[in-house]
């Protein structure tokens, strides 16, 4: 069974669209996808991954339609 939502995240929106995502995940419910999209932007996630910088942008995509349901930006996100 294909999951309904994809979450993608990267350092910036531009880098996600031009270079691809740094991490992604699949979810069955919008609530799970939204929670994961927000988690990707936290320092806690960066600490778990042992990276020096938090991700700045994430989005939730409906797998059936390909529509971007929501965009999330970290408070300290870089604009490029």
C-alpha count within 13 angstroms, C-beta hemisphere, residue 40: 28
pTM of the model: 0.88
Structure tokens at 29: 């419910």
What's the CA dihedral at 39, 40, 46, 52 to 10 degrees?
-140
- CB-based contact 27:37 (threshold 8 Å): no
Does any domain span residue 78? Answer: no
Q: Which domain holds residue 56?
A: 5-73
pLDDT band (50, 70, 90) for residue 49: confident
Say what the pLDDT of residue 77 is. Answer: 58
Distance CA 17, CA 45 (A): 21
Does any domain span residue 67? Answer: yes
Please determine, for residue 1, whether its predicted confidence score (pLDDT) is greater than 70: no
Does any domain span residue 12? Answer: yes
Say what the pLDDT of residue 75 is. Answer: 82
Does any domain span residue 69? Answer: yes
Say what the pLDDT of residue 79 is. Answer: 56
Average pLDDT over residues 7-19: 94
């Amino acid at each position: 069974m294909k999951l309904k939502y994809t979450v993608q995240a990267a350092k910036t929106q531009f880098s996600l669209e031009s270079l691809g995502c740094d991490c992604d995940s699949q979810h069955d419910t919008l609530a799970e996808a939204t929670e994961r999209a927000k988690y990707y932007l936290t320092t806690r996630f960066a600490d778990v991954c042992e990276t020096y910088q938090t991700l700045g942008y994430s989005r939730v995509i409906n797998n059936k339609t390909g529509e971007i349901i929501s965009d999330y930006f970290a408070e300290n996100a870089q604009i490029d």
